[in-house]
Amino acid sequence: MANLVIIGMQWGDEGKGKIVDLICPAFDAVARFQGGHNAGHTVKFGDQHFSLHLIPSGILHPEMRCVLGSGMVIAPDAFLSERDGLRAGGIDDRDRLFLSSRATVLLPCHAALDQARERARGDAAIGTTSRGIGPAYESRAGRYGLRLVDLLAPDLEERLDRLVGMVGGHLAAAGGDERLEVAPLLEQCRRWADELAPAICDTEALLAGWLAAGKGLLFEGAQGTLLDRDHGTYPFVTSSNCTTGGAAVGAGVPPTRIDGAVGILKAYSTRVGAGPFVTELHDEAGEFLRSRGNEFGTTTGRPRRCGWLDLVAGRFSQRLNGIDAIALTKLDVLDDLDEIKVCTAYRIDGRETQEFPASLHDLERAEPVYRSLPGWRQGTVGALERRQLPAAAQAYIEFIEGEIGATVDLISTGPRREETIVSTEGPLAALLGDRLEGVLAERSAG
Ligand code: GDP
Ligand code: IMO
Ligand code: MG
């Protein structure tokens, strides 16, 4: 049974939640490996609508085991309210939701620091989700962070003292005026420890056991490749590794046990927050994509910046992630257009390049070189086979495959499970083997 990782190939919000929900019947467990409640994954089926932030989208399947891996930053209050919200909606997580004892605890003071830093940056703000993600990862890398297992440790108070001292110093330097106090935080941490204790465990050992037993694991990425801390549009990035390489480290499984990667690619581009975006549209076309695609953040409600598909970024993403199969999402959003543009190269100071630049200065000056493709002006929603799509839509998909060098094995034409074309041949079908049947059944069940 193959173990797969799913990641976003752009700036997040590609539709990872929908695709994870659809293909998870082919797996026995789903694990998140990075990020925190900056993520917002939307899943819709029947008359239900869920927004998941910390908990893997697999939780909506009653039998699926779900892991929050060591590479995550977990805010206990956000986790508990998300879990309670799911319980209120009839989703029972008991005995199948596991938190890595090695995951980092994200505390309210991390969020306060994130917000103070953003205020201090003024016009140069990153546009973070203000959840405290960067400062939490910073505490971890600086070796004064708190892990979930430390919530249960006898020296919790000393650890908190050190953490609050460090974060408080950064907060004052950023002009924040909150006073951080250890005593109420200690109380709060003890309450969280009691509530979380039953779910905290050695998830790395759990995953190793499942692997040894031949179970199939799905690793659910959050954010997207161009927000990757090391490879994205630095410094306008998040603070974790959202590329496929992050899955092994962040879940604590050997990279040699991950058999393939599915890249989620939206049929156009969006970005939330600041930072370079070469194909961004400030005109009616951008407005069309935003309203037609309902491009408003799941986590913060912010309008997403919109633009044409950027294949320079797409090829870069393919090179970094080694994508075996692409899931192309939101194709339906393009249904009514006469003309669709795709960026195939950048022009920087009059010179054309196919490479995604490392330099922020170059990215900010890059102009898109577009190829114009005909639109199809016909509905695609609910098509179940690729050959049922209008010829121009098929040509659009083939163009993307040729440029990126990977096949499109899933095509999403709406937010719901049944609005997906699932290829029964090709790399994804080969990786899933017999288990593809489960995915097809899920799609028909809606
Ligand atoms: P994620 O963060 O990658 O999981 O993506 P989000 O859930 O934040 O954003 C994707 C949005 O597009 C959600 O509102 C989905 O319900 C919706 N969506 C997903 N796939 C499709 C699709 O093929 N067509 C349309 N119209 N909406 C989709
Ligand atoms: P999903 O999983 C889109 C962006 C923020 C900001 C930058 C840094 O739903 O695709 P952070 O709070 O992480 O320090 O913010 O990253 N960002 C996302 N954009 N989708 C997300 O998650 C994002 N998570 C963070 O807008 O630009
Ligand atoms: Mg999202």
Dump pLDDT digits (tens) for 131-157: 999 999 999 999 999 999 999 999 999
Distance CA 299, CA 198 (A): 27
pLDDT at 420 over 90: yes
Give the model's pLDDT for residue 390. 98
Tell me whether residue 401 is exposed, middle or buried, using C-beta atoms within 10 angstroms of its C-beta: 0 to 12, 13 to 18, 19 or more. middle
CA torsion 197-198-203-206 (nearest 10°) is 150
pLDDT band at 90 (very low <50, low <70, confident <90, very high): very high
Give the number of the ligand closest to the Cα of residue 236: 2
Q: State the distance from the centre of ligand 1 to the C-alpha of 43, rounded, in angstroms.
A: 8
- Is the pLDDT at 381 greater than 90? The verdict is yes
pLDDT in tens, 178-224: 899 999 999 999 999 999 999 999 999 999 999 999 999 999 999 99
CA distance 152 to 176: 30
Name which of 226-235, 297-306, 337-346, 421-430 the model is least confident about. 297-306
Mind listing the pLDDT tens digit for each residue in 42-85?
999 888 899 999 999 999 999 999 999 999 999 999 999 999 99
Query: Rounded to whole angstroms, how far apart are CA atoms 116 and 262?
Result: 37
Which ligand gives the minimal distance to the CA of 332?
A: 1
Q: Which pLDDT score is estimated for 300?
A: 80
For residue 174, pLDDT over 90 is answered with yes
Ligand 2: which atom is nearest the Cα of residue 275?
A: 27
Mean pLDDT of the chain: 97
The Cα 66–Cα 221 span in angstroms is 13
Query: Which is the closest atom of ligand 2 to the Cα of 273?
Result: 27
Residue 170 has pLDDT above 90, yes or no: yes
1-24 pLDDT, tens digit per residue, is 899 999 999 999 999 999 999 999
| pLDDT value of residue 33 | 98
Q: What is the mean pLDDT of residues 406-427?
A: 97
Separation of alpha carbons 256 and 42, rounded Å: 30
In the residue annotation, 110 being an active-site residue is answered as no
Catalytic residue among 37, 41, 110, 231: 41
Examine the pLDDT at 382 and tell me if it is beyond 90: no
Mutate to test the pocket of ligand 2, among 72, 223, 240, 266 (most ligand atoms within 8 A of CB): 223
Q: Are 101 and 67 in contact (CB under 8 A)?
A: no
Predicted confidence (pLDDT) at residue 341 exceeds the cutoff of 80? yes
Tokens of 368: 């898109």
19 touches 266 (CB < 8 A): no
Residue with CA closest to ligand 1 atom 27 = 415
At 46 the pLDDT is 86
Residues in the ligand 2 pocket, defined by CB under 6 Å:
8, 11-13, 38-41, 126-129, 131, 133-134, 222-224, 227, 238-239, 272-273, 298
pLDDT of residue 301: 85
- φ, ψ of residue 438 to 5 degrees: the values are -60, -40
Q: Report yes or no: 278 and 343 within 8 Å, Cβ to Cβ.
A: yes
CA of 143 to the centre of ligand 2 (A): 24
> Which has the minimum average pLDDT: 95-99, 174-178, 289-293, 331-335?
174-178
From ligand 2's centre to the CA of 317, what distance in Å?
17
Question: Which of helix, strand or coil describes residue 300?
Answer: coil
Q: For ligand 3, an ion, list residues with CB under 5 A.
A: 13, 40, 298
Is pLDDT at 299 greater than 80 in this prediction? no
Judge whether 13 counts as a catalytic residue: yes
